[in-house]
């Protein structure tokens, strides 16, 4: 892994990424994390607007900054993240 994108520590598994996304999204939307399914659409199932998604991205970036230097979710990628699974898959692939 390139030094500029990795900090020593335990690798983050997909399940941990899912838990992170669920927890942060639940805080933003003020719902219980158990109400968030991996296949849920941000807009259709969770009523998350674009501001909520931006807050989610910022929370994920902040959380992962300690483990992966310079971790960012690019603005143009945000448009492609339609479901919780999309977000988890994207973050996992960037960390992998």
Q: Are 26 and 33 in contact (CB under 8 A)?
A: yes
Separation of alpha carbons 52 and 28, rounded Å: 6
What is the span of the domain harbouring residue 41?
Answer: 16-95
**Choice among 27, 44, 47, 49 that is catalytic:** 49
Place of tokens 């989610």: 56
Q: Is residue 47 part of a domain?
A: yes
Separation of alpha carbons 68 and 8, rounded Å: 9
Q: Is 49 a catalytic residue?
A: yes
> What's the total number of domains in the chain?
1
Q: Is residue 65 part of a domain?
A: yes
Q: Is residue 3 part of a domain?
A: no
Q: Is residue 2 part of a domain?
A: no
Q: What is the pLDDT of residues 38-67, one digit of tens each?
A: 999 999 999 999 999 999 999 999 999 877
Q: Is residue 11 part of a domain?
A: no
pTM to 2 decimals?
0.86
Q: Is residue 57 part of a domain?
A: yes
Q: What is the pLDDT of residues 2-26, one digit of tens each?
A: 444 444 456 789 999 999 999 999 9
DSSP letters along 2-46, please?
-GGG--SSPPPPHHHHHHHHHHHHHHHHTS-GGG--TT-BTTTTT
Provide the CATH number for the domain around residue 55: 1.10.1200.10
């Amino acid at each position: 892994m390139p030094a500029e994108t990795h900090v020593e520590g335990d690798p983050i598994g997909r399940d941990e990424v899912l838990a992170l996304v669920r927890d942060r999204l639940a805080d933003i939307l003020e719902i219980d994390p158990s109400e968030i399914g991996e296949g849920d659409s941000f807009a259709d199932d969770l009523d998350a607007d674009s501001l909520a998604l931006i807050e989610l991205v910022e929370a994920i970036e902040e959380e992962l900054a300690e483990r992966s230097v310079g971790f960012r979710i690019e603005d143009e990628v945000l448009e492609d993240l339609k479901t919780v699974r999309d977000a988890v898959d994207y973050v996992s692939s960037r960390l992998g």
